[in-house]
Structure 1
Amino acid sequence: MSKAIPLVATYRLQLRDGVDLDKARELLPWLATLGISHLYLSPPFHAASGSTHGYDVIDPTRIDPVLGGEAAFQRLSGAAQRAGIGIIVDIVPNHMAFTPENPWLADVLRHGRGSAHAAIFDIDWDAGPLHFPVLDGAIEDLLAQGHLAPAGDADDPRLRVYDREYPLRPNDLSRHLCGVTRTLDAPTLDALLAEQHWSLGDWRTSADRITHRRFFNVTDLIGVLQEDPEVFALTHRWIIEQVEAGHIQGLRVDHVDGLARPGGYLQRLRDAVGDTPIWVEKIVKTGEDFPSAWPVEGMSGYEFMTPLTRLLTSREGLATMRETSIDAVPPDYGREVRKVRRELLEQVFTPELRRVAGAALTALALDEGARAQVSEAVGRLATVWPFYRSYAADLAPLSPAITQAIDGLTEDTTVASLIGLLRAPDDPHARAFAVRFEQLTGALTAKSEEDTVFFRSVAFLPLCEVGAEPDLGVIDDATFAAGMAKRADRTPLALDTLSTHDTKRSADARAVLVALSHFPDFARELYTDARQRGREAGVSEQWALYALQTALMLRAEPDAPERINAHVAKAMREGKDLSRHEAPNTAAEAAIAQLCRALHHGLATGELLPDRLRGDFEAAIETIALAQTALQLTAPGIPDIYQGSEGLAVALTDPDNRRPVDWGALALGQLPALAARKLELTRILLTQRQERPDLFTCGTYALRTDEDSWIVERTGEGEAFSVHIPMPKRHSADCLKDVRAVD
């Protein structure tokens, strides 16, 4: 392994969409001038055709050719070593792409559970063949339209379905069809499909036939059995080789909560990569932490964003926004979440619920006659589960928060029996149930909260964010400082992030709404006006408030109208009340988008943002944006800068947050005033971190107020640093007012 590079700051780069590994290599000089110590890459592995993000891996043992392949990675690694910059790679152990493009899965399609690769994937073979709900209509109609046809040849028989080719069992029928006749009629197709280890169905009606573990409810992703040491060795072979060769200096583990036993997986990974830093993508609620036994540097930073937002938000303004939203948004966040969870269990997570109930039946030694009763008990328990998972599968005890949340259900004897299974460390069937239940609760929590109710409980969108909750309140500087002190003590190398590829809105977008909270009277006027416009347009007042906040965030973006159209459609489908991904209501989406564009126009022309307020409001936005940056770059932990956010980056939910970055403009300084000041502040503070890395990661942390500023003070080992950060009420943004370093 190469000599360790001191951790100062990471820079998250999204590969694909015009950014390959050679482009990453070209950016190294820019990162060096910023003061970045580590380039943090999104997954570079061979992914499904047309992948825009890389999390749909088809082969984790090779670099994707579209990114330049292995040669490009070696060029990048060599250049990074010469520049003194480390490489962090985002790895995806939980799942792979569920597509016949996946060579290991293709072999499973051909040979079934007898395939040499069948043990890689989490498949319930007892529930039936692997099911692909990919058809858009009746199979006989699609055959007549030419969407299904023989492919390959007698030695490699396949069935073409749309633009994908599915391997067939090599028998007389498939060889004859693909090698001789090359034609297919409906009776023959029925006979052919009946012989396969997989099946096809309409995506609208056959999802309950799915037999593989999905990532959340994404059918195109299949779970991987990392608890098997041989599977771990195979899927991590390339990663371990690159770490040992000194080409990788850090790993970020995607979706650790999806794994059967995260603690065991992380220990195996630690044993394989030695002291190479490991971070986990883990989402925690307020008051929750990840298990202390995990051998990792920390989490990937969501837990840092929420306290910072709560510190910067005005208590009075937040109360005003919530008061002015009454009767437009759900009145009780927790109740709304529970309602959505029940709906998802009944309509979306039916395959997962079936598997959990089956594991419970086995563990409780019950027959199929008890399935309905057990399924109901699982649903009741999962509906009130307060966290993503309990780690009972890793033999961790149930936390007091979980015990409190489920207390009202224990009178139900079946629910009580399920809880008993979670507390039964020596029973292998109980452990199997715990794994399945926790994989369900993680997915259910994410889909019900982040991907549904965060688009309904919209009184204040900065708290509708990964790691936050819409009903949280503000915190004072003492509470924030105590959290940072704990962070310095427990996870001094955890990542501190403000924006990621998964945040609903970037830090600079959230800053606009946080600034609005410091103008409560103005906020009341805007919210009241938006609701009135919604009524007049005959659209949902809830979505009118969402449209207003979106228009505010995009108020200065020249391409706002086009981005509004795309974002509103996605947001409404995520919200699942007026529109859904499965059944888009394009008329409702168009009406809300039109309202959003009208509000955006009103903000631009002065109708909604009068000149008497514009200067103070823009100054407050600048103050918040720079305060976020200053607090991030001076906090314990390792700052993680999302691509382009070293300047001004106003972005909404992906794919909006993966738009191209103009690094040329950043390097040349061709920037608006706020972007230029933010870039200057970033460089200055990262220089301070470079000069005193131990002080900033491990030194003591204090935050106090002095008239109209926060003062951050860091001390340790004979070194000291302080910075004054103006508060929003100043309507000023001079974060460089007083930066002092004392040796």
Structure 2
Amino acid sequence: MIKIPRATYRLQFNSQFTFADAEAIVPYLHELGVSHCYASPYLKARSGSPHGYDIVDHNALNPEIGDEETFSSWILALRRHEMGQILDIVPNHMGVGGDDNGWWLDVLEHGPASEYAGYFDIDWRPIKEELRGKVLLPLLGDHYGTVLEKGELELTFDLERGQFSLCFYHHRFPIDPNTYPDILGYRMERLADHFPEEEVSFLEYQSLITAFQHLPSRHDTSDEKRAERLRDCAIYKRRLAESCRKYPAIGAFVLDTVAVLNGVVEQPESFNQLHYLLERQAYRLAYWRVAADEINYRRFFDINDLAGLRMENQAVFETTHRFILELVKKGEVDGLRIDHPDGLYDPLSYYQHLNKKIIDIQGEGERNHFSHPISKPNYYIVIEKILASYEHLPENWPVCGTTGYEFASLNNGLFIYPSSQKEFEQLYSRFIGRSWDFDQLLYERKKIIIRVQLSSELTVLANRLNSIAQRDRHTRDFTLNGLREALTEVVACFPVYRTYVATNQVSEEDKRFVQWAVVQAKKRSPAADISIFDFIQAILLLEASLRSEFPEGVIPFVMRFQQYTGPVMAKALEDTALYIYNYLVSLNDVGSDPRNFGVSLPSFHRANQERVQHWPHGMITSSTHDSKRSEDVRARLNVLSEIPEEWRKRLSRWTRINRSKVRRLNGFRAPSRNDEYLFYQTVLGAWPLLEMSEERLINFQGRIEAYMLKAIKEAKVHTSWINPNIEYETAVVHFVRNALGNLEKNPFLVDFIPFQKRVARFGLLNGLSQLLLKLTVPGVPDIYQGNELWEFQLVDPDNRHPVDFALRQRMLQHLMLLIHSGQPLAFHTYELLRNKENSLVKLYLTWKVLSFRARLPFLFEKGDYTALSVHGAKAKHICAFARRHQNKLVLSVVPRWFALLGDNGDGLPLGESLWKGTWVEIPEVNGYEKFTNVLTDEIITIVRNKGKNYIPAHKLFKNFSVSLLFGLK
């Protein structure tokens, strides 16, 4: 039986939040109603890592987070409170560069002969002959020759270890021991002058040079020669270190030689010998801009210091999962979250293998004979998979579901008013002075990403496809350039992150996606002969036209292609297009699609019913560490969809007020109208609830500056990370600082703040409704750290600031004392709602519902889902559903579109005057006549009319803005 979490709480571990810190808040999380901590990666990562995804050692804890003692203490605290933990693991890549990844350093030292050469996804035989048998390292800040002659590449010698390395700031590159003689033998006549030729120390030194020269080459990868090389290298290094210690003159000579080889700045010829030495290494140092075109190892997207792992290699899986599986075996980890599974060579095989290993270590292997591949999970595993709205998670994957991006999009969309879409698009187009076709925008951005950032990976694919084409007389006339262009079109038209074709599997959905991409590519291609696309389609779908046996290289090509489309989509959509297409940025988040302006009630219910049927235990979320904006920012900005005309008028007024703050650069505005439009939404969404002071305004201004600089660089329109336009960035900062310059005598803020307060009030009501939905729909609800209070955070690093847990503990204690003070609960809920800006109301709703879930775990874990019909004047403003398991029944009812709904006169969406004439229809209740409102303790009796059961809406929303009813018999 899989132990399903009841509710999770995401914790971001780093040097500022350790195992000891996590242990301190266990009692608070337990009281809040959380069953599992959901931990970010805490294996040993790059020093100073803020997130833990740049792991350098999969078999050790991160010392910046804690040691075995503090880890065990945290685990014991969880157990004392009957809690567990879900661990985020990173199988796709590792942190490289620097001086802390032993596997990577070994690869740089020994090249293909390294025992870890097969661990990383390295192309040792690229087309460019100069890179054969080498790893391209695009880490330099300028062209290689310039960096070399500036003395920034420093040869070093470790006297204790007898090892030579090249250092470049914090990076270290080991020298191939085969080339040590180039150093040790350089100007050796000077050493001979100090020793008679028969001197033992001199003879020993000469023999060491000979020994290093005769090491097996790094190009010889036979098991015997590899073992000999690695064994003898260690021996000879020890001998060299001993000689230098035993004979100080030799040590001094070696260090002096190193100093000479390091050259003299402004004497270019003095670096010739060092250059010759570097040319003989298993790596080639290069300017960082070279990466896009020539890098020959798979990266995490376009990040050079995150190298892809070959998880399909059995040894890699075993080594990287040894420690994790030990934690699982000891019961210290209760579930796994798989980071970026789309980067894996074969995700399905990975999930199957992971389940099999867990079964084995839990002693279930002998009792379970797997005559067929594992298709159902045997452990709680969720995957970070981004699904398009028209895409489905393959049902044969042995996982419990995704991490919930699709629900975040679904839940958010329910609070967007779809009838205003056309009006909203028009006001956006008029403001920025142009119209965007999002399909065309995404297509164009993909092509830019392919050309500018991920060109080298496409080159590898094109060369592999060309090799396949040349083996068949029917396809050999396809040119390399033609294949490359055709692949570019297919990838740019791909409708999903990736497909999952494998040797024995081509699903109908995968087939449909590939065929769609090919059809669109044909339409866009200027090529005269479009049969090249049919060839690509046949390859990608492993079609029968390729005969019964696939030509050599087809399967590896298809798998590599699938690993490529995901990064292109992610960089073009999440990190580019979503920073350009700004017409309602609450739609612009991971897993969302800005083309979907709102979600209908039937669509919302249908998605939840499908989750019950297929993925009832998947994680559901509303904010994550990857969110572009927190749930509360999106809930606030969604209000704009209800008031487009008022939004248009405000924009017109603000842009007139701020006209003088705009600069002109070569005839163009800075910021652009589009960036100015983003600025107004950003300030509106992130403006704090606390009354603004001059000090708070300065802090807020800094946050907005940082966000706007990141946004315009990600958009890559006027500036970018690769090619910064300092003038434009300076103009944007100037605009932000002046628009938010001060509170007094600021006409923009004088007009902005009253509007912001009104929108914020409706946004908070949206936030409560979306929170109750998240906590009661099918799935495992997750809370991102700190978001049990109102949080108006922007994209990282803004959303990774330290959480004030002491404040939250005090607030929860105060809340519990308040609730038990003797007054009726309905009185307190009304007061909490009336004072909703202080966050107690969100904390209350979170605590109350999670506590209720703890009392009835099976109702939410196994209960079915039924959409409830709503009738009357305000029916479209209500979302209602029932969860039922055995003889237990609970109803969730939430309002929406508050700006259009109105209020009862005191700003709250409560009471008969507002809801009169609206009813929620209750299905056959099997003896239930009454319900208790879990949130207010009110008893509500069913009204029967013409054979049907109803509850008047004004009874549901008498003292609180959302309702959770539990059936009473």
* TM band (smaller chain): over 0.9
**Cα offset for 1:148?**
1.8
User: Counterparts of 1:477 and 1:95 in 2: how far apart (Å)?
Assistant: 40
1:421 touches 1:434 (CA, 8 Å); kept in 2?
yes
Alpha-carbon distance between aligned partners in 2 of 1:20 and 1:529, rounded to the nearest angstrom = 48
Matching of residue 324 in structure 1 with residue 549 in structure 2: no
The equivalent of 1:157 in structure 2 is 164
The one of 635, 656, 678 aligned to 1:546: 678
Matched residue, 1:351:
456
Distance in 1, matches of 2:79 and 2:486, equals 55
Letter in 1 for 2:674: Q
Structure 2 Cα separation of the partners of residues 616 and 525 of structure 1: 15
- Is it true that 1:566 corresponds to 2:726 in the alignment? no
In structure 2, C-alpha distance between the alignment counterparts of 1:582 and 1:125, rounded to whole Å: 27
Matching residue within 767, 788, 801 for 1:659: 801
Q: Provide the C-alpha distance between the structure 2 equivalents of 1:556 and 1:272, rounded to a whole number of angstroms.
A: 48
Q: Does the 8 Å contact 1:359/1:436 carry over to 2?
A: no
When residues 372 and 740 of structure 1 are mapped into structure 2, their CA distance, relative to the original with a 3 A threshold, is same
Q: Structure 1's 633 and 472: CA in aligned 2 closer, same or farther, altered over 3 A? A: same
Counterpart in 2 of 1:373?
482
Residue pair 2:33, 2:854 contacting (<8 A) in 1 also: yes
Give the drift of 1:508.
0.8
Distance 1:11 1:610 in 2: 33
Name the aligned partner's letter for residue 537 of structure 2: I
Q: Is the 8 A contact 2:404 2:621 kept in 1?
A: yes
**Structure 1 residues 6 and 610, CA, compared in 2 at 3 Å: closer, same or farther?**
closer
Counterpart of 1:416, as a letter, is D
Aligned counterparts, 1:132-281, within 5 A:
132-153=137-158, 155-170=162-177, 171-174=180-183, 179-183=255-259, 184-185=262-263, 186-205=271-290, 207-274=292-359, 275-281=378-384
Residue deviations 1:13-49 (CA, integer Å, cap 9, x gap)? 1111500111111111111011001101111011112
Matched with 1:712 is 881
Equivalent of 2:36 in 20, 38, 41: 38
- For the residues of structure 2 that align with 1:359 and 1:74, how far apart are their CA atoms? 49
Quote the Cα distance in structure 2 between the aligned partners of 1:716 and 1:240.
34
Q: How does 1:311-460 map to 2 (within 5 A)?
A: 311-326=414-429, 328=432, 331-365=436-470, 370-393=479-502, 395-397=505-507, 398-409=510-521, 412-424=530-542, 427=550, 429-460=553-584
Q: 1:622, 1:369 → 2: CA distance?
A: 59
Change (3 A) 1:609 1:532: closer
Match 1:587 to one of 705, 722, 727: 727
C-alpha contact (below 8 Å) 1:298/1:495 kept by paired residues: yes
1:667 CA displacement: 1.1
Letter matched to residue 534 of structure 2? A
Distance 1:637 1:222, change over 3 A: same
Which structure 2 residues correspond to residues 576-725 of structure 1 after superposition, within 5 A? 576-597=716-737, 607-609=750-752, 611=754, 616-669=758-811, 673-701=837-865, 702-705=867-870, 707=874, 708-725=877-894
Answer whether contact 1:157 1:174 (CA < 8 A) is retained: no
Secondary structure in 2 matching 1:66: coil
CA 1:330 to 1:268, structure 2 compared with 1: closer, same or farther past 3 Å? farther
> What one-letter code is carried by the residue in structure 1 that aligns with 2:645?
D
Task: Please tell me the residue identity of whatever aligns with 1:116.
Answer: E
Tell whether 2:73 aligns with 1:75: yes
Aligned residue type for 1:633 = L
Letter paired with 1:359:
R
Deviates more, 1:691-700 or 1:596-605: 596-605
Report the Cα offset of residue 147 of structure 1. 2.2
Structure with max Cα Rg: 2
> What displacement does 1:288 show?
0.6
CA positional deviation for 1:735: 4.7
- Give, in whole Å, the separation in 2 of the partners of 1:134 and 1:439: 24
Distance in 2 between the 1:381 and 1:190 partners?
42
Match of 2:135 among 123, 130, 134: 130
Distance in 1, Cα, partners of 2:685 & 2:21: 30
Q: Which moved more, 1:537-546 or 1:363-372?
A: 363-372
Distance 2:449 2:880 in 1: 46
Asked if structure 2 preserves the Cα contact closer than 8 Å seen for 1:7 and 1:693, the reply is no
Deviations 1:688-707 (A, max 9, x none): 21122222233222254463
| TM-score (ref. length: structure 1) | 0.95
> Which residue matches 1:116?
115
User: What secondary structure sits across from 1:126 in the alignment?
Assistant: coil
Q: Counterpart of 2:113 in structure 1: which amino acid?
A: G
Distance 2:57 2:390 in 1: 38
Tell me if structure 2 keeps the 8 A contact 1:133–1:207.
Answer: no
Q: Which moved more, 1:344-353 or 1:324-333?
A: 324-333
Counterpart Cα distance in 1 of 2:148 and 2:768: 59
- Is this contact kept in 2: 1:56–1:96, CA < 8 A? yes
**312-321 vs 284-293, which deviates more?**
312-321
Q: Give secondary structure in 2 for the equivalent of 1:120.
A: coil
2:701 partner SS? helix
Any unmatched runs of 5+ in structure 1?
none
Q: Partners in 1 of 2:95 and 2:807 — Cα distance?
A: 36
Checking the alignment, whether the CA contact within 8 Å between 1:208 and 1:351 is kept in structure 2 is yes
2: CA distance, partners of 1:553 / 1:363: 52
Structure 1 residues 588 and 703, CA gap change in structure 2 (3 angstroms)? farther
What is residue 195 of structure 2 aligned with on the other side?
A: none
**Greater CA deviation, 356-365 or 383-392?**
356-365
**Aligned partners of 1:735, 1:660: CA distance in 2, in Å?**
31
8 Å CA contact 1:4–1:249 kept in 2: the answer is no
Measure the CA separation in 1 of the matches of 2:573 and 2:168: 35
After TM superposition, the structure 1 stretch with the greater mean CA deviation from structure 2, 693-702 or 336-345, is: 693-702
Counterpart for residue 688 of structure 2: 556
Distance 1:138 1:519 in 2: 54
Q: Is the 8 A contact 2:9 2:782 kept in 1?
A: yes
CA RMSD, Structure 1 to Structure 2 (Å): 2.4
1:294 equivalent to 2:397? Answer yes
Q: Give distance in 2, aligned partners of 1:187 and 1:735.
A: 78
Which is further off, 442-451 or 17-26? 17-26
Q: Which amino acid aligns with 1:544?
A: E
CA–CA separation in structure 2 for the residues paired with 1:148 and 1:479 = 59
Query: 1:641 is paired with a residue of what secondary structure?
Result: strand
Report how far residue 379 of structure 1 moved: 0.6
Q: Counterpart of 2:362?
A: none
One-letter identity of the residue aligned with 1:586: I
Q: Work out whether residues 45 and 61 of structure 1, in 8 Å CA contact, stay in contact via their aligned partners in 2.
A: yes
- Per-residue deviation at 1:308? 1.2
**Alpha carbons of structure 1 residues 157 and 391: separation in structure 2 relative to 1, 3 Å:** same
SS of residue matched to 2:414: helix
On the 8 A contact 1:711/1:724 being kept in 2, the answer is yes
User: Which amino acid letter does the alignment assign opposite residue 361 of structure 1?
Assistant: N
Q: Distance in 1 between matches of 2:281 and 2:428?
A: 55
Maintained 8 Å contact 1:409/1:416: no
Larger relative contact order (CA 8 Å, sep ≥ 6): 1
Residue 207 of structure 1, CA deviation: 4.2
The alignment partner of 2:593 has SS state of coil
Q: After TM superposition, give the deviation of residue 175 of structure 1 in Å.
A: 5.0
Secondary structure of the residue that 1:338 maps to in structure 2?
A: helix
